[in-house]
Amino acid sequence: MTVIPSQTWRALEMQTAIEPLPKGLDAAWDAAVGYAGRLVRRSRRCMRRAENVLALEQHFSGFSSAKLRQAALEMRELFRCSRDTAEDVDRGFALVREVAFRQIGERPFQVQVAGAFALDAGCVAEMATGEGKTLAATMPVTVAGWRGHGCHVITVNDYLAKRDAEWMGQIYRFCGLSVAFVEQEMSAEHRRRAYMADITYCTNKEVTADFLRDRLALGNSRDLSSALLDGMVHGGGGADRLLQRGLNYAIVDEADSILVDEAVTPLIISGEAPNAEQIESFSQAAGIAEKLRSDVDYRVDRRYREVELTDEGRASLTELVRELGGVWSGSRRAAELVSQALTAKELYLHGKHYLTVDGKIVIVDEFTGRMMPDRTWRDGLHQAIEAKEGVEIKPPKGTYARVSFQRFFRMYKKLSGMTGTASEASSEFWQIYRLAVVPIPTNRPCARKNLPGVVLPSEDLKWERIVREISRIHGIGRPVLVGTRSVRASEHLSDLLDAAGLEHQVLNAVYHSQEAQIVAQAGQPGKVTVATNMAGRGTDIKLGKEVAKLGGLHVIAAEPNESARIDRQLYGRCARQGDPGSAQGIFSLEDEVVTRYVGNSAAYFAKRYAKAGAAISSPLVRGIFRLAQSRAERLALRQRKSVLKTDHWLDEQLGFTGGR
């Protein structure tokens, strides 16, 4: 067998993303690079099929609009009758390319067509930020629409669902298909009509909530067939109240965020369950929590986000609740209430995990920085935070139905996804969803400069360094985008920039309504934008005039995320589509990720380098950041696998219901 020298691996990887391997090297390639080699070969197969589609461009470009529309309708009938072949899919993609050019002025490149084939094959297409995933999806979505069973395109927020449905809807309607979108404020009737369309754009939260509403509407019926039969025999049955027509095919945009980061988040349909005595107990618990002493009466485990009462704390609690009676009579229930109050006090921070809006507690999504007014924490935690903040305490709600996103998306007959960062989670995509990852090369070589990270001993020094760096780059005329992990951090940096006289825009949960507009302007000359995490994903950052000559957009990460994949998402906001750009992380040894997962090591080095007050160049210090992220990723994976085991148990125990 031919041996591939190690120094040629990278060159071969780049070559085989577009061209076939040299004859006789296939087996050697697999042996040399293993799983990575298989990823590249998947990509190569998609690129080869994309060449076939591009070869058909001349054929369809000569059609008149009327003839092209007729060809689309004939294609629809072919797919609807399930008489299509692989060659028909190629022709369908080529037709959609021509329609896209005529309707919206954009013709998908070869790499976008390759990404479309990955989606059509039920895989996760890893396409770099700015490579046109939205347009690439129109090809498999159109083919799915032609098949007539419905296709859901899942996005991360209502704005993107509406924007993409209206923008790409021009293509779908030309091809003889109906398209609609679902947003939060829609009535049941509008939702029902939207799901009856050939193509439906919606968010993961809305489509999952509507699924749960349908399960409640079915009542005791095991499935839709039983409900229809029950309605025919006895009348009713709930089928006439269903919103969705089934879970046939879903293409998930930002698949890493929805299928991995939010995978274990349960979506719950609940109802009011008022209990005046219970509401009073939350206020009492908040008062008791203030009297207990940290590290004496209770211990906080910040890595696992848990609070545990000590023996001394339990004795103190017994004394504090002796005169209260009611729910406080039981020692176990008293400990639960106070533990929840301590959790709210120690582990949930205003401006990071939640905000107070119009006298109400509103959760902030840790992954996107967006507010989620329709969500509440469960098991009394939301009420404990309301008591902590002194706002009106709403009664806990009774749960009617619930499902995790992880369990829900595995119910689709066919599932695929697209994102700019999938390789790091490729094994998880396969283990949980049976989704293979297909890396798609960029249309133009990436010109981003990844600058060496900077580590400071303290947060104060870090923020000073960030402000100096912003001032320096702003002085050149280049735009700067700074990513923070919390609303609190973004507001703090905003105050520092105001003090330095630097004009800037802030994008966080407080200003979420202007999200797309703020992000779209982030590439203009001299623009300074401060954004929480990945707010604005899905919105193009186009460079202003002369910005490319100056070096393009510069991205600064102000704190490491718990996954290196999310850091890569942030850095991917610059140097899109071959544009120049640069990215750098400026961190401190007091950042949450290191203090939470490698606290002792971080404290040691922070103390050691405190007097110097300068950037730390030690490889050991850089290593603890990698260790912290590695531990965080392992913990998150264990949590997701734990939920997966529960999902499997539910499938086995509830198999008699006919559900999946």
pLDDT band at 302 (very low <50, low <70, confident <90, very high): confident
Closest listed residue to residue 266, CA positions, set 404, 423, 85:
404
In a domain, 648, yes or no: no
The strand pairing partners of 484, in sequence order, are: 532
pLDDT by residue (tens digit) across 341-389?
999 999 999 988 899 998 999 988 776 667 778 788 888 899 999 999 9
pLDDT at 655 > cutoff 80:
no
Q: Do residues 173 and 96 both lie within one domain?
A: yes
Q: What is the pLDDT of residue 316?
A: 92
Q: Do residues 496 and 533 both lie within one domain?
A: yes
Domain that holds residue 432: 56-267+406-439
In a domain, 130, yes or no: yes
pLDDT by residue (tens digit) across 157-182?
888 899 999 999 999 999 999 999 99
Average pLDDT (587-602) is 92
Q: Do residues 89 and 20 both lie within one domain?
A: no
In a domain, 562, yes or no: yes
Closest listed residue to residue 519, CA positions, set 500, 534, 509, 501:
534
Q: Do residues 259 and 287 both lie within one domain?
A: no
Which pair of structure tokens corresponds to residue 168?
A: 């790409």
pLDDT at 23 > cutoff 60:
no
Q: Do residues 518 and 626 both lie within one domain?
A: yes
Instruction: Say if CB 320 and CB 313 are below 8 A apart.
Output: no
Please give the angle made by the CA atoms of 480, 583 and 563, to the nearest 5 degrees.
115
Residues 6 or more apart whose Cβ sits within 8 Å of residue 92: 75, 79, 84, 139, 142, 143, 146
The CATH number of the domain holding residue 542 is: 3.40.50.300
In a domain, 658, yes or no: no
Q: Do residues 138 and 240 both lie within one domain?
A: yes
In a domain, 144, yes or no: yes
The CATH number of the domain holding residue 312 is: 3.90.1440.10
Q: Do residues 489 and 566 both lie within one domain?
A: yes
Q: Do residues 259 and 361 both lie within one domain?
A: no
Q: How many CB atoms lie within 10 A of CB 413?
A: 12
Q: Do residues 81 and 192 both lie within one domain?
A: yes
175 φ/ψ angles, rounded to the nearest 5 degrees: -85, 10
Q: Do residues 349 and 384 both lie within one domain?
A: yes
Establish how many alpha carbons lie within 13 A of residue 300's alpha carbon, considering only the half-sphere containing its beta carbon: 16
In a domain, 256, yes or no: yes
Compute the distance between CA of residue 648 and CA of residue 270 in angstroms, rounded to an integer. Answer: 24
Domain boundary among 395, 429, 463: 395
pLDDT at 28 > cutoff 60:
no
Q: What's the CA dihedral at 463, 469, 473, 474 to 10 degrees?
A: 40
Q: What is the pLDDT of residue 654?
A: 59
Predicted model pTM:
0.83
Tally of structural domains, the chain: 4
In a domain, 645, yes or no: no
Which amino acid, 519?
A: V
Residues 6 or more apart whose Cβ sits within 8 Å of residue 600: none
Q: What is the pLDDT of residue 235?
A: 52
Q: What is the pLDDT of residue 220?
A: 60
Q: Do residues 378 and 497 both lie within one domain?
A: no
Domain boundary among 329, 360, 395: 395
In a domain, 352, yes or no: yes
Q: Do residues 529 and 614 both lie within one domain?
A: yes
Strand locations in 159-287, DSSP E?
179-181, 199-203, 249-253, 266-272
Q: Indicate the average pLDDT of the chain.
A: 86
Least confident of 249-253, 257-261, 478-482: 257-261
